[in-house]
Amino acid sequence: MKRFVLLVLILITGLTVFSQGIEFQKERYAEVLEMAKKQNKLVFIDIYTSWCGPCKHMADNVFPQAKVGEYYNAHFLNLQLDAEKSEDGKMVAKTFGVSAYPTFLFVNGDGELVYRFLGGKTVDMFVKEGEKAVDAFAARPELKKYTKKYEEGNRDKEFLNQYFILKDRSGLDCSDVLLDYFALVDDSQLLDSINVPRIGKITVFDKKLANRFVDAACVEAANPVKDKKHSTAVNKAICTFLSACVQKTAQADQEENFEEVLALKDRLFKATGAKNSATAASLGGGNIYIPSELLRLNYYSAKKKLDKFNHLFINYIAELQKKYEGSREEKIAMLKAMEAKLKEAKESGNEAEYQAARKLNAMMSAFSSIDDYYTSTSMIENVERYEEIYEGEKDAAYKDRVAGWYVFSHQLSPSAKTAAYVADKLLALDKKGQAKEVLTLGLKDGSSAAGVEESDVKACQAKLDELK
């Protein structure tokens, strides 16, 4: 009996804790808007997809928290929409240009966007974003006044400054205002502390302004007069801006502007010493850090510029193959040097030095792994794309060539996560021997690679056993 009572208490407690989180409405989007209009509230919308890891993290670990539920339930009507499977989700995602997940929207009862943000957040950060949405809602009447004056042609610099602050506080795209604002800013003031953060908020490409930003950054890099923190902020802001530009120009199929952005990137990186790095991109640097060849391949593939894709792909994979042995030897030498340093630190008896060496070793290995894995998976996708668009005879020479590309692309970063997939591609080309080699390498060198789960290792082993 006591055990039964205890079980009931546990269940009740669990339900109580869960109910303290965000309470999501079950009604359709249009109905929730009507409810919000009557209650003079904002609608908070979680736009997610079933495959999005950060979306799942937010749903499992942030939304159920009492602190989050207390604030969001009091201030908003809350709604969850799947951007791919729900009709409302598809419509809302299209209406507000959602392209990354999770994206969080706050709209009023008229369906007008008041505030937005994206990406996984901690509990405190998530509540803070809600507070920003409430502030933006309160400031909306003032924002409407400024918008009306802007549409009437007001381009006074101080007016633009205040209008930007209001729009930015609402999480809205400020590109239009900032383009007009920076047109009034002298070159000598472009990189002032007030203006630097604003550079990263521009999401459209303006050739003249983009060149002014890069020119100013190159001058500063050649004549450093400010602190390192400022230089870092400048590079981050301009790279964020260029990342938005490369994405927008590719989406709009503006090839000339797309190439101009990549040329600006080359100039900026040469001046500042920055390098292509998927690690830097994943840590918030922006997709401008992705190798330009891979950005071009993505663009050509998406816009069906097939001749350009084929030409670049064949040349780029040949270049990677040529560099592979030399870079592989360099990495082996680097790893040996790091291991020797680690051994030396351990034998010295200095625990602090040893722990520092271990931390550095792990960090460098992780960064190298991210770059290699990104290139590997990108090239596997590009080989697959080459197969899809190939129109010639798929004879023995074709199969040998494509199989060699698949094997090499996997070698760039052996992983149990990709080995089974590549093996299936090789089997489709009648390359059973190479499929077994890829699976063996994936298990030997890639069982503990980044992102690999136990299920990946089991799938890889099962596929290998099947082929024996």
pLDDT class of 278 with cuts at 50, 70, 90:
confident
Alpha helices in 390-415 (DSSP H): 396-411
User: Residue 24 carries which DSSP code?
Assistant: B
Choose among 102, 82, 101, 100: nearest CA to 92: 82
The pLDDT of residue 100: 84
**pLDDT of 31 strictly over 80:** yes
**Three-state DSSP class for residue 76:** strand
Q: Specify the amino acid at residue 310.
A: N
State how far the alpha carbon of 77 is from the alpha carbons of 22, 39, 411, in Å: 10, 9, 50
pLDDT class of 93 with cuts at 50, 70, 90:
very high
Question: What gap in Å lies between CA 39 and CA 27, rounded to an integer?
Answer: 15
Choose among 274, 271, 273, 275: nearest CA to 223: 271
174 is catalytic: no
- For residues 452, 455, 460, 465, the Cα torsion angle rounded to the nearest 10 degrees is 150
Chain position carrying tokens 């998927």? 278
Question: What gap in Å lies between CA 367 and CA 278, rounded to an integer?
Answer: 9
Q: What are phi and psi of 113, to 5 degrees?
A: -70, 130
The pLDDT of residue 371: 82
Question: What gap in Å lies between CA 415 and CA 400, rounded to an integer?
Answer: 22
412 against 99, higher pLDDT: 412
pLDDT digits (tens, 9 = 90+) for 401-455: 999 999 999 999 999 989 999 999 999 999 999 999 999 999 998 888 777 889 9
pLDDT class of 5 with cuts at 50, 70, 90:
very low
Question: What gap in Å lies between CA 234 and CA 238, rounded to an integer?
Answer: 6
pLDDT digits (tens, 9 = 90+) for 152-169: 999 999 999 999 999 998
Assigned fold of 29-137: Glutaredoxin (3.40.30)
**pLDDT of 3 strictly over 60:** no
The pLDDT of residue 362: 53
Catalytic residue (one of 52, 174, 245, 460) = 52
245 is catalytic: no
Mean pLDDT across the chain: 88
Q: Specify the amino acid at residue 10.
A: I
* pTM of the model as a whole: 0.76
The pLDDT of residue 332: 59
208 Cβ neighbours under 8 A, 6+ residues apart: none
Question: What gap in Å lies between CA 330 and CA 312, rounded to an integer?
Answer: 26
Beta strands 103-107; 42-48: pairing state: antiparallel
Q: In the chain, which residues fall in CATH 3.40.30.10?
A: 29-137
Find the distance separating the first CA and the last CA of the chain, reported in whole Å: 56
User: Residue 50 carries which DSSP code?
Assistant: T
Least confident range from 209-223, 277-291, 334-348: namely 334-348
Catalytic residue (one of 55, 239, 245, 460) = 55
pLDDT class of 225 with cuts at 50, 70, 90:
low
Question: What gap in Å lies between CA 198 and CA 241, rounded to an integer?
Answer: 9
Choose among 129, 229, 212, 225: nearest CA to 170: 129
159 against 341, higher pLDDT: 159
Give helix 351-389 / helix 416-428 axis angle, nearest 10°: 20
The pLDDT of residue 350: 76
**pLDDT of 271 strictly over 50:** yes
